[in-house]
Amino acid sequence: MVKTVSSNSDGLVSLVLWGLFSLVTVVSLWMLGDILLLGLDHLSLDFVIGEPADAGRNGGIAPLIVSTLLVLAVCMAVVIPVGLATALAITEFLAPEGRWQATLLRSLDLLSAVPSIVFGLFGYAFFAIQLGLGFSILSGGLALACMALPLFVRITASALAMVPHSYRQAADALAISRVSWCARILLPQSSSGIAAATILSIGRSLAETAVLIFTAGYVMRMPDSLMDSGRTLAVHIYDLSMNVSGGDPAAGATSLVLVVILVVLNLITRKVLPDRTF
Amino acid sequence: MKTSAAEAQFGREARLQAPPGVRVENLTVRFGQKTAVADADLTVKSGQILAMVGPSGCGKSTLLASINGITDLVPGVVISGQRLVGNRPIDTMSSGILRRRVGMLFQKPNPFPMSIIENLEFPLREHGVRGRGQRREQARDALAQVGLWGEVKDRLKDPALTLSGGQQQRLCLARALVLEPDVLLLDEPCSALDPIASAKVEACIDSLRGGYTVVIVTHNLAQARRIADEMVVFWVEHDVGRIIEAGPTERLFTAPVHPTTRAYCKGLAG
Amino acid sequence: MAMILQRFRAARAKDLFVQSAVLLFAGVAAIIVVIIGVYLFLESAPLLTGTGIPGFFLDRRWYPLEGEFGMAAMLAGTLSVTALAMLLAAPVGIAAAVFMRYYAPPAFASFYRRLLELLSGIPSVVFGFWGLIVLVPLIAKLDGPGASVLAGGLVLGLMILPLVSLSTDSSLAQVPRSHWLAGTALGLGRWAIVRKVMIPSAASGILAGMVLQTGRALGETMAVLMVTGNVVQLPASVFEPVRALTSNIALEMAYATGDHRTALFVSGLILLVMTAGLVAVAAVIQRRLKRYG
């Protein structure tokens, strides 16, 4: 903080800013506190490992956790290879500032702005109906992948771009092949950035609901396969609070579980990439 | 250490052919609107050390990096003129062969983020040297050549980045030498090093004479005077880098023709 | 080929293969958004006749089971909630960024930033859930049923706030430090420097960020769905319930058939076009205003 000359308006502005800071902090902590309290009431070990009962009002969320993990797995199984390839294309294989690179970047920008319900509509029309996958974890995971892809690509591409230019110079001077450059130096050097991209994409996907209600569906049972319909934690919170009377306590507990998972992911990202903010 | 250097020397002197010379004819390099170098002519005789001197921004590094085609990789660059290694234009050579014959050392030491020995074996593997034993032997020779073998032989698997600055630079030189090039391009190799490390690297470079054709860019006129057989002086005229004088090093210092050369070499300008 | 690809370092078969695979995957990534657009368009096609289109925007009567697909009320719902949210989030968000960057002691700044990052990751259903059980009853005490434009605006505003502030913060971070020093050298006070030097320099980034967050707000579904009451009507006051376009799709898609379903796809297409338009505006802002700072 550089010292500057103070003036009257400075005092007023400072007051306003501190006031707003307090307001935001209070409201946020109010919300988080409410979730915590409401959730803790209903939370128990049985809740986490048990099966849902009575439309979810009682019992647990074990099948939902499994469904959530499966949807995430499908999603990341698509996002990581496609996203890595796309980021590599942007930083390594397409002429910088060229027409193709610009088109790809613009396309990804547009994709990242698509509303989540539109992904839901598209996922329904394309994956569920057109490709015949129906309401399934597979449909949900694929639709989610379309949504998570731009975020993953953005973070990965910026991690790739941060590899020191000097390595590239040395590799050029030794005529190292492109494949060896990527495999032996570029990717290993950017691995923490790629890990962060993965974790952030998972976090974003966990928070999604609208994409999944028309693709993965609502079914609360433990899924037997990827073709089964499955309900994720976020969808469960929605159903419990909107469609199930008396479902609030369970919704609160589920919210608490979800928020805790996200906080943990947030902390892991911080460990992996300590000085980056996205 | 002296023994291993001598052994390495012997290995090289056993090479029957003299290294090729390097010639640059009428080279002009443009990046968009800016002309970095214009109408440059350069001749380096076989086995000689040529120094390119001049203030910053005259295009010395650009010209140097055009000899092994690195400048060609910059997006949007326009290059005209001829670059020949041993009478063969470099455009007729594949990049793999070109950069095997012409090695490069950069200003800031840039070993790969791998172990010391991997830094040398990786390029060998890339250029098709099969057989781990063969690679290990060539790596050993290269390290001996730069006087590093004794210092690192007990920690070959340590990360290269744990070496000191001077050691890293000698490692990078070894990495350039491990492919057994004929020509070496050195871009201000000592400027990022402390005086002691700088002296060691300079001694290595001096030992390359005869076995390699060497082009070195340097800001250090004293260094140029010490190790270069021939010298080329660059200057910026009308925002474009040009060669203003060339010739044997001693002559440029004692009887320069161009007034700028006289001022620069006497330390009054640049 | 030479125009689109960087020069080869060594043209080996291995390189060629990997390069083709990478470009293929990247190509897939590039056309996803196009496929989405095409699909929405195809599914909407039956109702996209010349006479039908204006009706979507001007007609208030949404009685899908009787073939009336006027979306004006729902558009009003979306726009009113979004506008209220941005009205709240934009100034407070910018203030938060300015606070973190220029006024707060390091510990507070770091705490605030962590809090905002945490908030930005919280699922919209959780925001909606809290809004439903806490805010809606509170607003009901003031006026109306509680589930209203106001509830939607507040919840959405709270959701968008962290995004606006983090985006503004990163735009401000890119202003060269020398600008601050120049201001100090001229004897300007802290607020004067922020207001006259730092913010104008980052203006293009800040504005573009806000445009993009508006797009986010427009497209938000769950939180809005849970707290706005979902009554299809033009709101007479902020205390009245409305239905947003996004909520409508989420509510009716499950049982819509035939033309009704097509109409929902049309509303999806409208949302897509609106957000795409905002992305374009943001890009233009970045390009134009960059010249001034």
DSSP B114-142: SBHHHHHHHHHHHTT---HHHHHHHHHHH
* C84: closest CA of chain B, how far (Å): 47
Sorted by where each starts, the structural domains of chain B and their CATH numbers stand as 5-111+185-265 (3.40.50.300)
Claim to verify: residue A56 and residue A30 sit in the same structural domain: no
Q: Are C195 and C203 in contact (CB under 8 A)?
A: no
* Residues with pLDDT less than 70, chain A: 1-8, 274-278
What is the mean predicted confidence (pLDDT) over B230-241?
Answer: 90
Chain B residues with a Cβ under 8 Å from any Cβ in chain A: 68, 70, 73, 75, 95-96, 98-100, 103-104, 106, 108, 110-114, 122-123, 126-127, 172, 175-176, 179
Q: What is the pLDDT of residues B105-133, one digit of tens each?
A: 999 999 999 999 999 999 998 888 888 89
Q: Are A226 and A131 in contact (CB under 8 A)?
A: no
**pLDDT for the residue A255:** 93
Claim to verify: residue A162 and residue A61 sit in the same structural domain: yes
Claim to verify: residue A164 and residue A255 sit in the same structural domain: yes
User: Under an 8 A CB cutoff, do B73 and C7 touch?
Assistant: yes
Bridge partners, B159 (sequence order): B115
Closest CA to C253 of A127, A144, A115, A214: A214
Closest CA to A145 of A205, A86, A193: A205
Judged against a pLDDT cut of 50, whether residue B7 lies above it is answered with: no
Judged against a pLDDT cut of 90, whether residue B188 lies above it is answered with: yes
Claim to verify: residue A51 and residue A35 sit in the same structural domain: no
Claim to verify: residue A185 and residue A55 sit in the same structural domain: yes
What CA–CA distance (Å, rounded) separates A130 from A116? Answer: 19
Q: Per-residue confidence of chain C (293 residues) as pLDDT tens digits?
A: 333 344 444 456 778 889 999 999 999 999 999 999 999 999 898 888 766 777 788 888 888 888 788 888 999 999 999 999 999 999 999 999 999 998 999 999 999 999 999 999 999 999 999 999 999 999 999 988 889 999 999 999 999 999 999 999 999 998 888 888 888 888 888 888 888 888 888 888 999 999 999 999 999 999 999 999 999 999 888 899 999 999 999 999 888 888 889 999 999 999 999 999 999 999 998 887 666 54
Number of folded domains that form chain A:
2
A278 belongs to a structural domain: no
Claim to verify: residue A152 and residue A239 sit in the same structural domain: yes
Q: Is C11 on the interface with B (CB under 8 A)?
A: yes
Terminal Cα distance for chain A, rounded: 23
What CATH number should be reported for the domain holding residue A139?
1.10.3720.10
Nearest residue of chain B to residue A177 (CA atoms) = B126
Bridge partners, B79 (sequence order): B29
**pLDDT for the residue A7:** 62
Closest CA to A229 of A8, A66, A114, A25: A66
User: Under an 8 A CB cutoff, do A121 and C268 touch?
Assistant: yes
Cβ neighbours, 10 Å, residue A148: 29
Claim to verify: residue A253 and residue A146 sit in the same structural domain: yes
Judged against a pLDDT cut of 70, whether residue B42 lies above it is answered with: yes
User: Under an 8 A CB cutoff, do B94 and C6 touch?
Assistant: no
What is the mean predicted confidence (pLDDT) over B151-157?
Answer: 92
DSSP 3-state of C24: helix
Claim to verify: residue A24 and residue A72 sit in the same structural domain: no
What CA–CA distance (Å, rounded) separates B240 from B262? Answer: 20
Q: What is the pLDDT of residues C112-127, one digit of tens each?
A: 999 999 999 999 999 9
DSSP C213-235: HHHHHHH--HHHHHHSB---S--
What CA–CA distance (Å, rounded) separates A92 from C9? Answer: 12
Q: How far is CA C16 from CA A89, B91, B126, C268, in A?
A: 13, 21, 16, 41
DSSP annotation of B90 reads G
What is the mean predicted confidence (pLDDT) over B1-23?
Answer: 56
Q: Note down the domain range covering A15.
A: 2-39
Claim to verify: residue A181 and residue A250 sit in the same structural domain: yes
Please name the chains neighbouring A, where neighbouring means 3+ C-beta pairs under 8 angstroms. B, C
A277 belongs to a structural domain: no
What CA–CA distance (Å, rounded) separates C154 from C159? Answer: 9
Claim to verify: residue A107 and residue A25 sit in the same structural domain: no
Judge residue B1's burial from the number of C-beta atoms within 10 Å of its C-beta, 0-12 exposed, 13-18 middle, 19 or more buried.
exposed
Judge residue A39's burial from the number of C-beta atoms within 10 Å of its C-beta, 0-12 exposed, 13-18 middle, 19 or more buried.
buried
Lowest mean pLDDT among A139-143, B94-98, B99-103, C215-219: B94-98
Residue of C6, C7, C10 lying closest to B96 (CB–CB): C10
DSSP 3-state of A229: coil
B66 chain-C contacts, CB cut-off 8 A: none
Residue C13: enclosing H or E segment and its boundaries? helix C13-44
Q: Is A95 on the interface with C (CB under 8 A)?
A: yes
Q: Which two tokens stand for residue A57?
A: 């009002």
Q: Which two tokens stand for residue C178?
A: 């020398």
CB-based contacts of C78, cutoff 8 Å, min separation 6: C218, C244, C245, C246
Residue of A4, A124, A265 lying closest to C184 (CB–CB): A4
What CA–CA distance (Å, rounded) separates B195 from A97? Answer: 42
Sequence ranges of the domains in chain C:
62-292
What CA–CA distance (Å, rounded) separates B268 from A1? Answer: 44
User: Under an 8 A CB cutoff, do C32 and A23 touch?
Assistant: no
CATH level 3 topology of C62-292: MetI-like fold (1.10.3720)
A168 belongs to a structural domain: yes
Mean pLDDT rounded to a whole number for chain B = 87
**Which sign does the torsion angle of CA B104, B110, B111, B113 carry?**
negative
Claim to verify: residue A32 and residue A136 sit in the same structural domain: no
B10: pLDDT confidence band, cut at 50, 70 and 90?
Answer: very low
**pLDDT for the residue C292:** 55
